[in-house]
């Protein structure tokens, strides 16, 4: 699967994080859409599901756990890479058990994030 055919959604309430991750992922050859909230993302996913989601856990209104649960109910399999600044063993275990393909602590290592996205896209193909 060609990377430029793949859409990666970045869902994070921090604009600086969305901007930085968007630039990084675009530079790696993926198409990127960014969302400032889980609600905004869930409205868009009804129109077009991405091939991978980079999802922050701690967001207001609808958190990453709620979004992960909603993604798991979609008709097509959409891999999710969790990013969080509030790392805990419980969160890690819970999200991986729920189907997340990777769990990365902020600040995210660029190479690790890109590897997680590439692996997720290939395995979902």
CA distance 18 to 9: 10
> In 10 A of CB 34, how many CB atoms?
19
CATH code of the domain made up of 3-124: 3.40.50.2300
Angstrom distances, CA of residue 75 to CA of 16, 79, 110:
32, 13, 30
CA distance 1 to 77: 16
**Three-state SS at 14:** coil
pLDDT of residue 1: 42
Token pair 């868009």: residue: 44
| pTM metric for this prediction | 0.94
pLDDT of residue 46: 84
pLDDT of residue 68: 97
> Has residue 125 got a pLDDT over 80?
no
> Has residue 63 got a pLDDT over 90?
yes
> Has residue 96 got a pLDDT over 90?
yes
> Has residue 3 got a pLDDT over 70?
no
Average pLDDT taken over every residue of the chain:
94
């Amino acid at each position: 699967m060609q990377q430029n055919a793949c859409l990666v959604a970045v869902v994070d309430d921090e604009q600086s994080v969305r901007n930085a991750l968007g630039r990084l992922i675009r530079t790696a050859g993926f198409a990127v859409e960014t969302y400032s909230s889980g609600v905004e993302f869930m409205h868009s996913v009804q129109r077009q599901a991405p091939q991978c989601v980079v999802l922050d856990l701690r967001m207001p209104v609808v958190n990453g756990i709620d979004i992960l649960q909603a993604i798991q109910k979609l008709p097509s399999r959409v891999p999710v890479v969790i990013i969080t600044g509030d790392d805990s063993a419980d969160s890690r275990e819970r999200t991986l058990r729920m189907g997340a393909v990777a769990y990365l602590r902020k600040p995210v290592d660029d190479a690790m994030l890109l590897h997680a996205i590439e692996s997720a896209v290939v395995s979902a193909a």
